[in-house]
Structure 1
Amino acid sequence: MTTDAQGAAGSAAGPDWRPRAHFTPARHWMNDPNGLVHHDGTWHLFFQHNPEGPDWGNMSWGHATSTDLVHWTEHPVALPHDVDTGDQVFSGSVVVDHGNTTGLRREGDPFPPFVAVWTSAREGHQAQWLACSRDAGATWERCAGPVLDRGSADFRDPKVSWWEPGDGADGFWLMAAVEAVERLVVLYRSADLWRWELLSELGPLPQPPGIWECPDLVRLPVEGESGAEGHVLVLSGNDGTVRGCGTWYAVGSFDGVRFTPDARGFRRLDHGPDDYAAVTWNDAPCGRRVLLGWMSSWAYAGDLPTTPWRGAMTLPRELSLRRREGGDLVLVQRPVEEVRPAPGLQWLEVDLDVRDQPSATVELAGGSDGDVARLSYDRGTGLLSLARGPSAGDARPFHPAYPCVSSAPVEARDGVVRLDVALDACSVEVFAAGGEVVLTALVFPDGPMKPRAIPR
C-alpha cells in the first residue's frame, strides 16, 4: 500500500491511477522485486529502480519495508548504480546469515549480517557480487567481487536461500540463476556465499518462451496432507510480446543436485498479461511461502501513462500445492490474509453462471461507459477470459500492445465459475478454481470500477 508521501505525490490532474493497496515507488521507474527477506517482524522489499527518472536505466536497488504487507515505508536507495564504472545493479536476492557462514559478523554487531547476492552488469558482462548490511538492511556496503563469474554477458538474477536436505545431511546455500539468452537455469551450492560449486543445469525447454529470467526454487506444502511437500521452480520468460512475457512454474523433484520437472513441464503461474519476475520471500514466518511479482509487461512498461511513478507490484500471494484427482500436483495462489482488509482495495465475489446459457460475462465499468474490462466464461471451450482495450469497450489504449484478451482453462462446478476478484485503482487480479488459476491485468479507467452483468 502507498505511504502518505506516495499518495501526495500521486495527486495530479486527470485520473489517479496510483494503487491504494499495491506497492509503488514515490517517484520514477520500478521493475523486478529483489531481495525479498523477512527479519524480526519486518518484510523487506528491494526492487529494480531508476532513482533518476521514469524510464528504465541507472539500475539500482530501491528499498521499502512493511510490518503487515499492506502499509509500506520507502527508504533511500540501498544499492546505487556505479556512476564511475557504469556498472548497474541488476536483480538478486537477500539472505540473513544467522550462522555467520560468511564471517561478516563482527564482535558487538547487534544484528546478523544481511547479505545481498546481486548481478553486477555492464555491457557484455554479467557476474554475481555480494553486498553486506550490518544494521538490518538500513545501509549497505559492497564486498569484494565477483564471487561467481561464468565469463558471460547474460548470467543473472541469483535467487539464494538456505536449503535443508531433510535427510540428515548438512544444509547449504542454494543459488538458482539463469543464462538468460541460452535459456538455462543454473544451480549452485555454497557453504559460505563466497565460493560456489556448480550443481546442475536445466534447459533449454520449449516453455517459457523468449529469454529466461528470475528463477526461484522453493519447497511447498501439499494441502490436506500432513508433512507432504513438493518442489516448484518459478521462472519468468519474455519474448517481447504480451502473451510471451510472464511468470511460469514447474512442479518436480529436487534431489540436492538437480531439479527434474514432471511430465507437464512449465505452466503459466499467472495467465494475465501483467505478472513478471515473481519470486518468494526468504525467511517468512511460520514456514509461509509468499510470492510477489512486478505488475507490468515488457511489451509496454516504458509507456505506462502514470506519473510521477511508473511500476507497481502485485498483491503478495501465499503459495501451496494441491493434489488433483489422478495424483498431479498444481500450484495454488491466494492473496495473503493481511491484504483482505486493506483500505482502498475492493473485493468482489463473482459467479459466472452458465447452467442455462452458453456463456456469462461481467463488465467492470470504470467511470465512463467506454472504460471497462470484461470477465467472461465460455461453457463450450471451458475458458475463463479477461479482456481489456477495444474488445472490452475501451477505445483509448495507450499502446498498441495493450489491448488483449487473456484466457485460461477453468472447470465450471455445477455450471458456475466462482471468482475472487481484487480491484485497485489500476489493476484487476482474478483468482479462480480456489487459487489454481490467476489472471492479473493493469487497467486505466476514468473512475472507480464496479461490476455490471451483461445479459444474454
Structure 2
Amino acid sequence: MNATPGFRPAIHFAAQKNWINDPNGLVFDAATGLYHLFFQHNPFGDVWGHMSWGHATSPDLLHWTELPIAIPEDERASIYSGSLVIDHAGTAGFGAGAWVACYTGCLRRPEGGQAQELAFSLDRGLTWTKYAGNPVLDLGLKEFRDPKVFWHEATGRWIMGVVLPEERRVAFYASANLRDWALRSHFGPTGCTSAIWECPDLIHFPDQDRWLLKVDTFEGHPAGSGAQCWVGRFDGEGFKAETEAFWADQGSDFYAALSFAGLAEGRAPVWLAWMNQHAYAKYTPTLPWRGAMSLPRELALAQTAEGWRLLQSPVSTEALRGTARHLAGAGLVDAAGDVLELHWELDPGKAEASTLDVRCGPGGESTQIGIDHRRGLVWIDRSRSGHIPSAAAWQGRREQAWAGASGPLALRVIVDRCSVEVFSGDGRVALTEVIYPGPASDGVAVLKQGSGDWLRSVLTLWPLDA
C-alpha cells in the first residue's frame, strides 16, 4: 500500500510512523507550559506489538511534536499502559520533583504475566530510568494492568486504581512512597461485564464533591468496544457509585481515555482517548502510521433527569479558524474542505428529522449526522463514508438520546481528514467516528426530512488551518 498523507490528521495526534494505541502518562508541565502525551507504540511496525511508550509534546493540545521513544520494551518486559505523576516531595526516593511513570510490565514469555512497575525521569520526561526494584505490585497474574496513580490530598497518600480484567473489577491501592502498595478495596463487577475491563481513570470534580470512574470494555458497547462511566464518591479507601453505568461516547472510536495530571487548581479536567476500535484497528488504510488520538476534551459534571452525567467539550480551535461561511436553511456548501469546525443551530419546528452531511463527494459519499426530533436522538452514520476496513463493525447508526432534540438545539462538529467528532451544545452528546473518504469528498450539506418545516436553521462553518 502506498503512503496515505490525505488521511493524516491535521489537528489530532498521530505518530509519524507505525502503530499507536492507548494514551499513557498524560501530564501538564507548568514550568514549561507544555502538555506531555505518552502513548502505546510499536517502534517496529504498523500493527500491535513490541509495546513501548512513545512521547509527544504540545503547547496548546492542537500542535504536537513527536519525541524519541521514552520507555522502550526490553528483553524482560513490554511496557503496557499506565500513568504519570510528578513527585514534588520526592516520596519515592528518586528526588524531589521527579517524574514517575507507573505502568504495567508484561513479561515477554509465552505464558505472559503482568505486574505494576516504575520508571523515573529527572529531566522533565526527556530520559527515563527503570526502577531497579521492579515490579512494585505483583499478584502473579497473567491479566493485571493499566495503573492510574494520583495524589489524594485528603488522606495524604498516593492512590492507584488498577484493573483485574477477567474479574471485571478495579482494585484500589494506597502507598506513601509509590513503591509499597496496600490493597484498600475493589469496585465491580457491575455495569457492562460482557468482556474484559481495561484502562481505569478516576477524576475528581471538587465543585460537586464527586468523582468520575471510567473503565473500558472490549465488548458490550453499542458499537463494540468503549468507555463506561460511573459518578460517585471516593474517600481514599473506595469508590461508591451514585449512578448506573453510562457510556462516555456513543461513537465507535473513543477508547482508553486518560486525564491529564498537573493541571492548575480550578481548571476543568481534560482527557483524550485512542480514536480507534479494536475490531478493525489493524485494518485501517493508513501508511506509514496507524492510529490517532481524539481531540482533547474539557470535562464537567451536571445533574440531569437521569442523575449525574458527564459533559464534554473539545478544546478551543478558535486560533485555527479561517473565514466563516454561513448557510441558512437547507443546502450545500461546496468545496468546504477536509479540516473543519461546524456549529449548527436548529429550531426544528415540525420537521421529523434533520441531517448534516460532511465530507460529501462523488457517488454519494458522505458521513451523515442526523437528528430524529420525534424520538429525541442524535446519530451518526458512516456507511457511505469511503473506504470501509470492516463492514460488520463499521456500518450502522450510532445513536445517543438527547432530551433537547425536539426543540431548539446546537451541535458542534469537528471534522479532520480521517475523523468526525460530534458534540451537543451543552456537552451531553459525544459521538466519535473515524472515516476514510476520497480526496474529492469535501462538501457539506444540510437537509430536512419529512413534510414539516423548520423554524430556523443556521450552519456556521470554519476551515481550520493547523
Calculate the TM-score normalised by the size of structure 2: 0.86
Local SS of the residue matching 1:341: helix
Alignment match, 1:359? 353
Letter in structure 2 aligned against 1:342:
L
Alignment match, 2:459? none
Deviation at 1:208, TM superposition (A): 5.5
**Structure 2 residue corresponding to 1:424, chosen from 412, 416, 429:** 416
Letter in structure 2 aligned against 1:42:
L
Tell me the alpha carbon deviations over residues 58-106 of structure 1, each in whole angstroms, 9 at most, x when there is no partner.
0000001112111111111011111x33x2100011111101011111x
Deviation at 1:202, TM superposition (A): 0.9
Alignment match, 1:9? none
Indicate whether 1:313 and 2:313 are aligned: no
Q: Given that residues 178 and 184 in structure 1 are in contact (C-alpha distance below 8 angstroms), is that contact kept between their aligned partners in structure 2?
A: yes
Tell me the alpha carbon deviations over residues 251-301 of structure 1, each in whole angstroms, 9 at most, x when there is no partner.
011122110111x32101001000000010011124431111000000100
Tell me the alpha carbon deviations over residues 96-127 of structure 1, each in whole angstroms, 9 at most, x when there is no partner.
1101011111xxxxx72111101001243100
- Alpha-carbon distance between aligned partners in 1 of 2:3 and 2:82, rounded to the nearest angstrom: 37
Alignment match, 1:283? 262
Indicate whether 1:173 and 2:173 are aligned: no
Indicate whether 1:103 and 2:88 are aligned: no
Q: Given that residues 383 and 409 in structure 1 are in contact (C-alpha distance below 8 angstroms), is that contact kept between their aligned partners in structure 2?
A: yes
- Alpha-carbon distance between aligned partners in 2 of 1:100 and 1:370, rounded to the nearest angstrom: 60
Letter in structure 1 aligned against 2:119:
A
- Alpha-carbon distance between aligned partners in 2 of 1:317 and 1:13, rounded to the nearest angstrom: 30
Alignment match, 1:20? 10
Q: Given that residues 234 and 279 in structure 1 are in contact (C-alpha distance below 8 angstroms), is that contact kept between their aligned partners in structure 2?
A: no
Deviation at 1:17, TM superposition (A): 0.6
Q: Given that residues 348 and 406 in structure 2 are in contact (C-alpha distance below 8 angstroms), is that contact kept between their aligned partners in structure 1?
A: no
Alignment match, 2:377? 383
CA RMSD of aligned residues (A): 2.1
- CA distance 1:147–1:438, change in 2 (3 Å): same
Local SS of the residue matching 1:76: strand
Indicate whether 1:235 and 2:220 are aligned: no
**Structure 1 residue corresponding to 2:36, chosen from 44, 57, 66:** 44
Q: Given that residues 208 and 248 in structure 1 are in contact (C-alpha distance below 8 angstroms), is that contact kept between their aligned partners in structure 2?
A: no
- Alpha-carbon distance between aligned partners in 2 of 1:257 and 1:157, rounded to the nearest angstrom: 19
Deviation at 1:445, TM superposition (A): 1.2
- Alpha-carbon distance between aligned partners in 1 of 2:373 and 2:448, rounded to the nearest angstrom: 16
Letter in structure 2 aligned against 1:341:
A
Deviation at 1:323, TM superposition (A): 2.3
**Which residues of structure 2 form unaligned runs of 5+?**
322-337, 450-466
**Structure 1 residue corresponding to 2:200, chosen from 211, 215, 218:** 215
Local SS of the residue matching 1:71: coil
State the aligned residue count: 424
**Structure 1 residue corresponding to 2:100, chosen from 93, 115, 120:** 115
Letter in structure 2 aligned against 1:93:
S
Q: Given that residues 18 and 426 in structure 1 are in contact (C-alpha distance below 8 angstroms), is that contact kept between their aligned partners in structure 2?
A: yes
Deviation at 1:352, TM superposition (A): 4.9
**Structure 1 residue corresponding to 2:53, chosen from 56, 61, 67:** 61
Indicate whether 1:130 and 2:118 are aligned: yes
Letter in structure 2 aligned against 1:404:
G
Local SS of the residue matching 2:394: coil
Tell me the alpha carbon deviations over residues 412-456 of structure 1, each in whole angstroms, 9 at most, x when there is no partner.
366233211111111110011510110000011113543202343
Alignment match, 1:331? 310
Alignment match, 2:365? 371
- CA distance 1:274–1:140, change in 2 (3 Å): same
- CA distance 1:206–1:324, change in 2 (3 Å): closer
Tell me the alpha carbon deviations over residues 347-386 of structure 1, each in whole angstroms, 9 at most, x when there is no partner.
1012455322211112213332432111111123211110
- CA distance 1:69–1:14, change in 2 (3 Å): closer
- Alpha-carbon distance between aligned partners in 1 of 2:418 and 2:36, rounded to the nearest angstrom: 24
- Alpha-carbon distance between aligned partners in 2 of 1:51 and 1:15, rounded to the nearest angstrom: 20
**Structure 2 residue corresponding to 1:406, chosen from 398, 402, 425:** 398
Deviation at 1:182, TM superposition (A): 1.2
Letter in structure 2 aligned against 1:451:
V
Identity across the alignment (%): 41
Local SS of the residue matching 2:167: coil
Local SS of the residue matching 2:88: coil
Q: Given that residues 242 and 299 in structure 1 are in contact (C-alpha distance below 8 angstroms), is that contact kept between their aligned partners in structure 2?
A: no
Deviation at 1:138, TM superposition (A): 0.4
Alignment match, 1:341? 319
- Alpha-carbon distance between aligned partners in 1 of 2:60 and 2:140, rounded to the nearest angstrom: 41
Q: Given that residues 385 and 436 in structure 2 are in contact (C-alpha distance below 8 angstroms), is that contact kept between their aligned partners in structure 1?
A: no
- CA distance 1:282–1:366, change in 2 (3 Å): same
**Structure 2 residue corresponding to 1:140, chosen from 128, 132, 137:** 128
- CA distance 1:234–1:449, change in 2 (3 Å): farther
Calculate the TM-score normalised by the size of structure 1: 0.88
Deviation at 1:399, TM superposition (A): 1.6
**Which residues of structure 1 form unaligned runs of 5+?**
1-11, 106-110, 222-226
Tell me the alpha carbon deviations over residues 283-336 of structure 1, each in whole angstroms, 9 at most, x when there is no partner.
11244311110000001000010111101000011111112358x321111112
Q: Given that residues 410 and 433 in structure 1 are in contact (C-alpha distance below 8 angstroms), is that contact kept between their aligned partners in structure 2?
A: no
